[in-house]
Structures are given as structure tokens and as C-alpha cells.
A and B are shown apart, each in its own frame.
Chain A
Amino acid sequence: MTLVGAAEYSDGELSATASDDRVLVLDGIERTYTTGDVEVPALSDVHLTVRRGEYVSVVGPSGSGKSTLLNILGLLDRPTAGSYHFEGLEVADLDETDRTSVRGRRIGFVFQSFHLLSHRSVLENVTLSMLYTGAGPAERVERATAALESVGLAHRASFTPTRLSGGERQRVAVARAIVAEPALLLADEPTGNLDSHTSDAVLALFDELRTRGLTIVMITHDASIASRADRAVRIRDGRLTEVDAADMARAVAQIGQER
């Protein structure tokens, strides 16, 4: 790995110091999809700063660019233009291997469709996120067991996901996302496939993670879910705007109408 030391980023504002609590800073991010001759601008001129321990929800109508933003935040995709500092490090122009390394060690994902391996046990599904980052087998099992405990599923460790309910599956996915102790937890509609009752259990889990100090960015359609976060940002036609606390209720109501 050829990650440049954070100390080299000392150009004033963006320098990474011990006291800097900004997990990520997006500055003028653009992402344009090119299909044949057609150019689709999915994100344009996005500015966003997320601080350590913040719980941010991203709301917006379908096709507005929410998933695109999450992919860029998660280093799964690279922006066409702009700068992205993650933990003080410019990651927008990192090569594939280095992005993979940062992603594997520092970012956890929860997907709408769970993405569990159906033939592997719950425990193996959780240990999977430490498989490529150098932890030994014993340590992996120990940490995975602890993570399953914290989502209340230690007693299901040897089950395969096919025998779990939807809510339990998503909690396994959360355990997998947090087991490597990431700096950032990204969730794309984590309750999209769940009914309202099981959704509550999963959302309660996110609340608990936030109180433990985890930084969370969550995409959602649902107004009531967005209101659980400290802060909401809204995307419309690829443009991102802050929703201030006073406007929250109104914004939430508006999102409700948009759906």
C-alpha cells in the first residue's frame, strides 16, 4: 500500500490533525454517467462535511443521486471531478488497490438487500469483513462473536441466513459492517425490505451505534426515519442541500409528498 501519510496534507483548511474531527469532506464533487453519447449528471457540485460521531440522513426522490453519492463516499466509485478527503486523506485520485484497502479497513456497508452469503453461517458472514484485512482466524471469530452479541444475535451464530427473518438478516449485516470498527458506516435504505415493525428494531440498533460514537450516513425514503438522524441533507437532481433543524419537519413532510 502506498497511502500518503496524513501529515503531508498540511494545506491549511484540509490538514489532518489529531484534533480534526471531520471524517469526510466533499468539495465540488461531480459524477457524470456516460452511456454511449448521452451524459447523465448524477451529482453536480456537491459539498458535504461529516464530523466524527454524526448521524446524517440523505433524503431525496428516486433517481436524484443518493446511491451515487453513497458509492462515492464508500470508495466504491470515483467522482468525475472534485476533491474527497476521508480522514484527512485525499482519496478521489487513489488507485484501485489503495481505495480497496481504505474501504476494507475504514468503511462499513449495510445494503437494502442484505447481501449475505446464503450458504455460509451467520458467524462466517460476519468474519468475512475481516478476511482481507489481515486479522487472524481466532481474532476474527472473537470479534465477530462480540459483534453478533451487540446486535443481539449471538445465539444465531451457527445458523445460515436462510433460516433468519428479514430483520435478523439485516442485523447480521449490521454486525458485519461494524465488526472491523470502521470510521464510517454507510447504509443505503437499510429498512427498504423490512416491514415497519422489524424496521424499528434495526433503526433502534442504528440509534444505539450512534450513541456509541459511530459515524453514520444513511440513505432513506422515509420521512420518519430521516428525522431520527442528527442532521439531514437532501439531494434533488444531483444537487445537495442542508436541511436545517427548523425546516426538518417541513422537509420531512415534503419528502412524504414526493414519495
Chain B
Amino acid sequence: MSWRDLATEAIAGLASRPARTLLTVLGTVLGIAALVATLGIAQTAGNRIVGNFSELEATSVEVTNDGGFWGSSSSRVAFPRDAEDRLRRLNGVSAVGAMGTVPIGEDLASAVKLDDPSGRNEFQIDVMAASPGLLEAVKGSLRTGRWFDAGHETRADDVVVLGPGAAAQLGVYRVDQQPVVFLGDRPFVVMGILEDVARQSNLLGAIIMPEATARKHYEYTSASTVQIDVQIGASELIGAQAPIALNPDNPDAYRVRTPPSPDALRNRVESDANALFLILGAVSLLVGAIGIANVTLVSVLERVGEIGLRRAVGARRRHIASQFLVESTAMGLVGGVMGATAGILIVVGLAAARDWTPVLSPLIPVGAPLLGALTGLVAGVYPSLRAASLEPVEALRSGT
């Protein structure tokens, strides 16, 4: 008996009771739809989170010398002054900058006196020191003026760049007239005002000066943070290499913060959100399987006469068994296809409602119908064996 004949017989068997076949398949449809929708939503959400995250976070490596959880300022290991140069040489580094808080003591900041004798004009504003490369490393932009360069650093010029918050407090809006701000009594020329930074947002409210300037006037010894902008995919590597490049003798003195790996993130999102729905899907699938088994068994009992006749015209036990197995497998397959379709529609609908890109592993639209077919196959085993074990004489006697 050929596969074609077998399929024809099975389909004819199912088609003779279409309503029952569809109702039987419903359990499998629900189970497969639940599984596909759950997996699809998890993948879509996972992709969404990773997508958001990767732009900025995945390219950031931050090295600090605060000595870890138990660290105190006394145990800090200073960054070398040429930290920027050492790290820029590493393959995969796009930009490097160092920064640290400048201990200015009790000094208050003030701008050039305006015609506002009643107004408050002295402020407590954080002062930070930064290396020339920092602007690029924090992906910062300037509203006006310039960021300091290597020349300012070597000459230890008394210049500052203002964060937008500090600029507003001090009432400095333009730099073309070379305005001056005072820290205590010491004047500094404002050479630029920041627009925004993507990292190290504490720069936004600070007065920023070259590191050499900070060393000249204050007890500034070393940066506390080195911000590295790395190429996509290089964060792990740079995270491992940076402390060694900075301090080959004592790389463990620094703390490195690298982005979590996207895979770990995705897995975390997918696993905790969905265990419940997967269990739900599995249970529906089990119920679907029981439904198919039950209906196939009923169908075997109804068709005892047909089984007897087929045995009389030469069908072997395995012909009978395979006919019912193919019937139940086909029901499972139909349920799998319908369920996968419904599940994919749910994922696409949900993603569309939130303006997300629907993401679905290609394994799912292929695997779901196969899982449905497997469910049907397993469900059909017992009824098929029952059908095959019927004796021809008994079957012909009891059926019509």
C-alpha cells in the first residue's frame, strides 16, 4: 500500500466527519497557539530590549579606581597621566577620556559681576577635571565654544568648560567675549558650554577644567574614572585589557564596568516572563492530545465494521494501524498549522500595537506544525493498536 493510498484513506476518513475533526483539533490549536505566541512575544520583547540597549550601553566600558566595595580613598591606586594614550592604542577602542572630582574646598563659584547687586551670585558648584578625549568618550556635544585640547592640558591653561546646568546658574550663555568665572578669587576663562552628554551625566552640572590645571591649583592627584567608548562587540575584550594597559603591575586595583552580554540579557528576559505561559501551552497540548486519542478511539469503535471489511479484502494489521495513525497525525498536523498561524498573528498584532518589530525564530513556524503532528502521532498509538488487534471475524460480526 503506497503512502498516497494511505493518505487518501486517512483524509477520506477525516473528511467524512469534518465538524468532529475540527472540534477535535481545537485543543491542539490552542496549545500550539499558546506556545508560539509565548515564544514569539518573548523573542520580540527580548529583541526590543537588546535593541534599545545596544546603541549606547554596549559600547561603554568604565574603569574606576575607587577600590571596590570596601575601597577607601587611601587605598586608591592612581591612574597614570597618559591613561588616554595607553588605552587608545588598544584595538577596538574608539575614544578614551579620564575624569575626576577636583577638591576645591570651601571655594564658591561666581561669574563676572552683573548689574544685579541684590541677586545671588555665588554658588556651590562641582568642579571636575577632564582629559581632552573625554568629550568624545562620553559622546558629548557643545552648545557653543570649544572643548579643551592637548595644548591646554600641557600648558595647564586656566580655562574651563561649563556644563549646561552650571552655565545657567552662573548666567553664562555666550563665550565669544571670553567670559570669566571665579572659583573663590581665581579666574578662569570659559571656552565652551556643553549641550549634552550621553554618559557621565554629572558633567552636566559641573565646571570642567583640564587635569593639569586642576593639579596646578588644587590637590588633584588622579582621575577617578576612565570612560572608554568601544566598538560594538569589543566591550568584553577591552574590559579585560584596559586594567592591564593602565597598570600592568596591579591591574586588580581597578574596577571595570562592562555592559551585560546581550545574550545573557535576552535569555533572562525570555526565561522569567514565560515559564508560566509555556506550561499553559504544554497543558493545552496535552489536553489536545487526549482529545485526539479519545476521538480516534471513538472513531475506531464506530468503524469496527469498516475495519473488518478492510481485513477481509486483504488489509494487514499494520495497514489498519497505519491508517488510524495517519488520521490522528494529520489531525495533529492540521492543529499545529492552525495553531502556529494563530500564534504568529497574535505576535504580529501585539508587536504592531506597540510599534515593535515582530521577531520569531524561523524554527517556530516549521517546528510548531511538526510538534502538532507529533502530538497527533503519540495520541494515535493506543487507538491504532486497538484497531489493529481486532479479529476480522469479530469485526465483521459486530459492524454493519
Chain A positions within 8 Å of B, measured between CB atoms, are 71, 74, 76-77, 96-97, 100-101, 103-105, 109, 111, 113-115, 117, 119-120, 124, 128-129, 131-133, 137, 176, 180
Q: Which of A74, A76, A105, A114 counts the most chain B CB atoms within 10 A?
A: A76
Report the nearest A residue to B305, measured CB to CB: A115
Residues of B with C-beta under 8 A to A124: 12
Question: Does B399 interact with chain A (Cβ within 8 Å)?
Answer: yes
Knowing that A120-B16, A131-B315 are A-B contacts, what are 10 other residue pairs whose CB atoms are under 8 Å apart, sorted by A's residue number? A76-B311, A103-B314, A115-B396, A117-B309, A128-B310, A128-B313, A132-B1, A132-B316, A133-B314, A180-B313
Q: Select which of A100, A114, A131, A133 is within 8 A of B9 by beta carbon.
A: A131
Contacts of B317 in A (CB 8 A): 96
A71→B393 contact, CB < 8 A: yes
**Closest chain A residue, CB of each to CB of B392:** A76
B312 at the interface (CB under 8 A from A): yes
Chain A residues in 8 Å Cβ range of B309: 115, 117, 128
Contact residues in B for A129 (Cβ distance below 8 Å): 313-314
A148 and B246 alpha carbons, distance in the complex (Å) = 96
- A180–B12 Cα distance when bound, in Å, is 22
| Given contact pairs A76-B393, A115-B308, A115-B400, A100 touches B314 in the complex (Cβ within 8 A) | yes
Residue of A114, A120, A131 near B313 (CB, 8 A) is A131
Instruction: Write out the residue numbers on chain B whose beta carbons fall within 8 Å of the beta carbon of A96.
Output: 316-317
Is A132 touching B310 in the complex (CB atoms < 8 A)? yes
Q: How far is the CA of A143 from the CA of B272 in the complex (A)?
A: 64
Task: Tell me how far the C-beta of B281 lies from the nearest C-beta in chain A, rounded to whole angstroms.
Answer: 34
- Asked if residues A132 and B315 are in contact (CB atoms below 8 Å), the reply is yes
Question: Given the complex of chains A and B, what is the CA–CA distance between A129 and B305 in angstroms?
Answer: 15
Q: Are B316 and A120 in contact (CB under 8 A)?
A: no
Q: How far is the CA of A109 from the CA of B314 in the complex (A)?
A: 11
In the assembled complex, the CB of B340 is this many whole angstroms from the nearest CB of chain A, namely: 29
Q: Could you pull out 12 A-B pairs where Cβ atoms are within 8 angstroms?
A: A74-B312, A77-B393, A96-B316, A101-B316, A109-B312, A115-B399, A119-B12, A119-B16, A131-B5, A131-B313, A132-B1, A176-B313
CB distance from B123 to the nearest CB of A (A): 92
Given A115-B305, A131-B5: A100 and B316 interface contact (C-beta under 8 Å):
yes
10 tightest CB-CB pairs across the interface, nearest first?
A104-B314, A119-B16, A132-B314, A129-B313, A115-B309, A76-B392, A132-B315, A113-B400, A77-B393, A76-B393
With contact pairs A131-B9, A132-B316 given, residues A100 and B1 touching in the complex (Cβ less than 8 Å): no
Q: Which residue of A lies closest to B316 (CB)?
A: A100
Q: How far is the CA of A176 from the CA of B309 in the complex (A)?
A: 11
Is the CB of B306 closer than 8 A to any CB of chain A? yes
**Shortest CB distance A138–B (Å):** 12
- Do A101 and B399 have beta carbons less than 8 Å apart? no
Interface mask (B1-43 → A, CB under 8 Å = 1, otherwise 0): 1001100010010011000000000000000000000000000
With a cutoff of 8 Å between Cβ atoms, the chain A residues found around residue B311 in the complex are: 76, 100
User: What's the least CB distance linking A203 to chain B, in Å?
Assistant: 22
Known contacts A115-B305, A131-B1, A132-B319; A76/B314 CB under 8 A:
no
- List the A side residues contacting B400 at CB < 8 Å: 113-115
A97 touches B316 (CB 8 A): yes
User: How many whole Å from B25's CB to the nearest CB in chain A?
Assistant: 19
Q: When chains A and B are docked, how far (Å) is the Cα of A97 from the Cα of B311? A: 11
Q: Indicate if the CB atoms of B9 and A103 lie closer than 8 Å.
A: no
CB–CB A104/B315 < 8 A:
yes
User: A7 to nearest B CB, angstroms?
Assistant: 24
Q: Are B396 and A76 in contact (CB under 8 A)?
A: yes
* Assembled-state Cα–Cα distance A133/B4 (Å): 15
A170 to chain B, nearest CB (A): 13
Contacts of A119 in B (CB 8 A): 12, 15-16
Residues of A within 8 A of B308 (CB): 115
Closest-CB distance, B19 to chain A (whole angstroms)? 13
Q: Nearest chain-B residue to A109 (Cβ)? A: B312
Distance in angstroms between the alpha carbons of A100 and B393 in the assembled complex: 12
B312-346 contacts to A (CB < 8 Å): 312-317, 319
Q: Across the interface, name the chain A residue whose C-beta is closest to B318.
A: A97
Q: What per-residue 1/0 map shows which CB atoms of B377-400 lie under 8 Å from chain A?
A: 000000000000000110010011
Looking at B5, B312, B393, the one whose CB has the most chain A CB atoms below 10 A away is: B312
Q: Which residues of B contact A115 (CB under 8 A)?
A: 305-306, 308-309, 312, 396, 399-400
Q: How far apart are the CA atoms of A108 and B396 in the complex, in Å?
A: 14
CA distance A133 to B310 in the complex (A): 12
Q: Determine the chain A residues whose CB is within 8 A of the CB of B9 once the complex forms.
A: 131
Residues of A within 8 A of B15 (CB): 119
Q: Which of B190-245 contact A (CB under 8 A)?
A: none
For B315, give the chain A residue with the smallest CB separation.
A132
**Which residues of A sit under 8 angstroms from B1, Cβ to Cβ?**
131-132
Residues on the A chain within 8 Å of B310, using CB: 128, 132
Q: Which residues of A contact B5 (CB under 8 A)?
A: 131, 137
In the assembled complex, the Cα of A71 lies from the Cα of B392 at a distance in Å of 9
Q: How near does chain B come to A82, taking the closest CB pair, in angstroms?
A: 18
Contact indicator B314/A120 (Cβ below 8 Å): no
Would A100 and B315 count as touching, CB distance under 8 A? Answer: yes
Closest chain-B Cβ to A135's Cβ sits at a distance in Å of 10
Minimum CB–CB distance for B213 against chain A, Å: 94
**Which residue of chain B is the closest to A71 with respect to CB atoms?**
B393
Residues of A within 8 A of B313 (CB): 104, 109, 128-129, 131-132, 176, 180
Interface residues of B in 235-261 (CB under 8 A from A): none
Chain A residue at smallest Cβ distance from B312: A109
Tell which of B12, B392, B396 touches A111, judged by Cβ atoms closer than 8 Å: B396
Taking CB as reference atom, which chain A residue is nearest B17?
Answer: A119
A76 CA to B308 CA, complexed, in Å: 10
Of the listed residues B4, B313, B393, B399, the one surrounded by the most CB atoms of chain A closer than 10 A to its CB is B313
Cβ contacts under 8 Å, B305 to chain A: 113, 115
Expressed in whole angstroms, the minimum distance between the Cβ of B14 and any Cβ of chain A is 10
